[in-house]
């Protein structure tokens, strides 16, 4: 715990990751203003973080793409020294066009930076980016044992993002463009604060906020539900996809540490626990939770099907600078699975009432 009290402006607090970040900040004794899209979201957050007391207040910003969207959010008697920007669209069911992903990501990031520029007390802006802004996902990309580092950039172009027919390409582009804009802003505006970007791969783990049913799950955990918890033992083992991951609780701690570490100034830091294959996830779940016997793909138990030419990511700065130690994957996937099965059961029971 830091002995210095910080005042943090946190966007995206209502999200899967945002809730965990908020909990970390509050448990360190920091004072936080959470930016949310509606009063309903604020009320819900307050219920989740009951211990917060007067350390938590809210600002409703209905549209982060609006001009000077965050100007009111920055107005505070107790001035902010840190801004953490996590709000960005990552729910494919909520979007109807590529712009729905691209526009709030880029404009939201720019607005928060311009807002911070007008407030001399702000010392650091922490941007929750993604390894989607680092890895080249195109077919031409070099794989063969390649290690991606903070020096790399996803080369996706605006034209490709506009034309893309799948939302995952567009989402990755949204993270790339928003982070690029942020570093360009730093270079051109030379503001009084520094910038840190945290770049996690897939983020999994238990929810802190309550959802009334599985249909409200965030995108990454929904993948686990659909492919591993609500499938069949005979389903084909899903492709590994982005097989680097981090537990949401470790990522939240990374945000907390990023507030206070001077050495992290103006750096991009990959926050990843390690790799995990689909077979490994299935084996972990099937070997420990008997009720998944019929629901989780069997595949070839114990066979590690990590791609021979698989890539890795540079996790050294996360451990060296932020001192992170990552949870074991069993903890992440078992705790998530048990929680989701519980939620599904509750919904089922309610529908029978």
Can you give the binding site for ligand NDP, defined by CB under 6 A?
Answer: 12, 14-18, 37, 41, 64, 86-91, 104, 128, 130, 175, 200, 202-203, 218, 220
Cα distances (Å, whole numbers) of residue 184 to 113, 188, 289, 319: 11, 6, 48, 27
For tokens 């604020």, what's the residue? 42
Minimum distance, C-beta of residue 327 to ligand NDP, in the bound complex (Å) = 15
Minimum distance, C-beta of residue 191 to ligand NDP, in the bound complex (Å) = 21
Euclidean distance between the first and final Cα of the chain, in Å? 46
Q: Cα–Cα distance between 335 and 254 in angstroms, integer? A: 20
Minimum distance, C-beta of residue 171 to ligand NDP, in the bound complex (Å) = 7
Closer residue to ligand NDP, CB minimum distance, 114 or 233: 114
Minimum distance, C-beta of residue 217 to ligand NDP, in the bound complex (Å) = 9
Q: Cα–Cα distance between 103 and 100 in angstroms, integer? A: 6
Closer residue to ligand NDP, CB minimum distance, 37 or 261: 37
Minimum distance, C-beta of residue 352 to ligand NDP, in the bound complex (Å) = 29
Q: At a CB cut-off of 8 Å and minimum separation 6, what does 77 contact?
A: none
Closer residue to ligand NDP, CB minimum distance, 286 or 329: 329
CB 341 within 8 A of CB 229: yes
CB 297 within 8 A of CB 279: no
Please report how many Cα atoms fall inside a 13 Å half-sphere around the Cα of residue 109, on the Cβ side: 28
Distance of CA 114 to the CA centre of its chain: 23
Q: Cα–Cα distance between 267 and 341 in angstroms, integer? A: 39
CB 273 within 8 A of CB 247: yes
Nearest residue relative to ligand NDP (C-beta):
15
The Cβ of residue 226 has, within 10 Å, a number of other Cβ atoms equal to 13
Closer residue to ligand NDP, CB minimum distance, 121 or 335: 335
Minimum distance, C-beta of residue 60 to ligand NDP, in the bound complex (Å) = 10
Please report how many Cα atoms fall inside a 13 Å half-sphere around the Cα of residue 350, on the Cβ side: 8
Distance of CA 81 to the CA centre of its chain: 22
Closer residue to ligand NDP, CB minimum distance, 18 or 317: 18
Minimum distance, C-beta of residue 89 to ligand NDP, in the bound complex (Å) = 4
Closer residue to ligand NDP, CB minimum distance, 183 or 298: 183
Minimum distance, C-beta of residue 203 to ligand NDP, in the bound complex (Å) = 4
Minimum distance, C-beta of residue 59 to ligand NDP, in the bound complex (Å) = 12
């Amino acid at each position: 715990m830091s002995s210095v009290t910080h005042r943090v402006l946190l966007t995206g607090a209502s999200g899967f990751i945002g809730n965990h970040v908020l909990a970390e900040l509050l448990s360190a004794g920091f004072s936080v203003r959470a930016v949310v899209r509606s009063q309903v979201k604020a009320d819900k957050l307050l219920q989740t973080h009951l211990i917060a007391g007067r350390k938590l207040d809210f600002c409703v910003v209905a549209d982060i793409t609006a001009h000077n969207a965050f100007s009111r959010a920055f107005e505070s008697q107790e001035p902010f020294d840190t801004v953490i920007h996590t709000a960005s669209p990552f729910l494919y069911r909520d979007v109807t066009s590529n712009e729905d992903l691209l526009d709030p990501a880029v404009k939201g990031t720019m607005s928060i930076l311009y807002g911070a520029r007008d407030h001399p007390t702000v010392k650091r802006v922490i941007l929750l980016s993604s390894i989607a802004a680092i890895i080249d996902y195109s077919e031409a990309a070099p794989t063969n044992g390649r290690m991606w580092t903070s020096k790399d950039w996803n080369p996706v172009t605006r034209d490709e993002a506009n034309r893309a027919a799948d939302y995952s390409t567009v989402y990755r582009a949204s993270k790339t463009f928003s982070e690029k804009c942020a570093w360009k802003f730093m270079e051109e505006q030379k503001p009084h604060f520094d910038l840190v970007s945290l770049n996690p791969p897939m983020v999994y783990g238990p929810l802190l906020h309550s959802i009334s049913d599985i249909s409200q799950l965030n995108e990454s955990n929904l993948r686990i539900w659909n492919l591993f918890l609500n499938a069949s033992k005979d389903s084909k083992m899903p492709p590994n996809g982005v097989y680097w991951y981090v537990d949401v609780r470790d990522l939240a701690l990374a945000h907390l540490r990023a507030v206070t570490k001077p050495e992290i100034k103006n750096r991009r830091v990959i926050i990843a626990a390690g790799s995990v294959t689909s077979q490994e996830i299935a084996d972990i779940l099937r070997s420990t939770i008997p009720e998944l016997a019929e629901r989780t793909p069997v595949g070839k138990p114990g066979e590690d099907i990590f791609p021979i030419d698989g890539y890795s990511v540079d996790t050294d700065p996360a451990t060296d600078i932020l001192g992170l130690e990552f949870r074991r994957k069993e903890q992440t996937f078992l705790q998530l699975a048990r929680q989701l099965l519980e939620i599904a059961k509750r919904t089922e029971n309610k529908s029978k009432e």
